[in-house]
């Protein structure tokens, strides 16, 4: 697990605005590693992590869009049912709330990178390291729901 810089970009809901951001990042050879987008009636919020935050920063600043940088926690988990549940349960047991989270569709080794916004990243890292959260630790047995036939 690592600390990452996340860019939150506040966008007007108009055609071409999102395209402009990704085009300019591509021109500067900045690779986007994860994204999440939310919308409202008036604007959207694009949250993203890139492979090189220092290279992305001036590109995004040149676009004159409202932007905020946030430190987030990235945890690699196996890409299977129950992995996120285990992660959240470990944090909840130590009274660490998750403000929001999203994930990539895949990271190296068939894993998923889960991005978490937590109030205290250092505490969350300490909790997860102490509980040794690894792919082999996360084992959740799923039960099939029983259905009654009439």
Provide the residue ranges of all domains of the chain, joining segments of one domain with +: 2-69, 71-130
Mean pLDDT value across residues 126-139 = 64
The fold of 71-130 is VC0802-like (3.30.2130)
CATH superfamily of 2-69: VC0802-like (3.30.2130.10)
Rounded to the nearest 5°, which phi and psi values hold at 109? 75, 20
pTM of the model: 0.77
Reply yes or no on whether the pLDDT at 135 is more than 80: no
DSSP state of 143: -
Say whether 71-130 and 2-69 share the same fold.
yes
Specify the pLDDT at position 40: 76
pLDDT tens-digit series, residues 104-119:
766 666 777 889 999 9
Angle, CA 73 vertex, CA 85 and CA 58 arms, to 5°: 140
């Amino acid at each position: 697990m690592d600390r990452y810089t996340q860019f939150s970009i506040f966008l007007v809901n108009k055609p071409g605005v999102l395209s402009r951001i990704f085009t300019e990042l591509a021109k500067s050879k900045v690779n986007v590693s994860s994204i999440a987008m939310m919308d409202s009636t008036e604007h959207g919020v694009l949250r993203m992590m890139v492979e090189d935050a220092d290279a992305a920063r001036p590109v995004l600043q040149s676009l004159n869009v409202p932007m905020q940088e946030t430190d987030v926690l990235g945890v690699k988990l196996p890409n299977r049912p129950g992995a996120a549940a285990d992660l959240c349960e470990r944090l909840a047991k130590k009274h660490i709330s998750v403000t929001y989270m999203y994930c990539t569709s895949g990271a190296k080794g068939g894993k998923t990178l889960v991005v978490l916004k937590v109030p205290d990243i250092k505490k969350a890292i300490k909790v997860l390291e102490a509980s040794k959260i690894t792919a082999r630790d996360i084992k959740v047995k799923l039960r099939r729901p029983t259905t009654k036939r009439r």
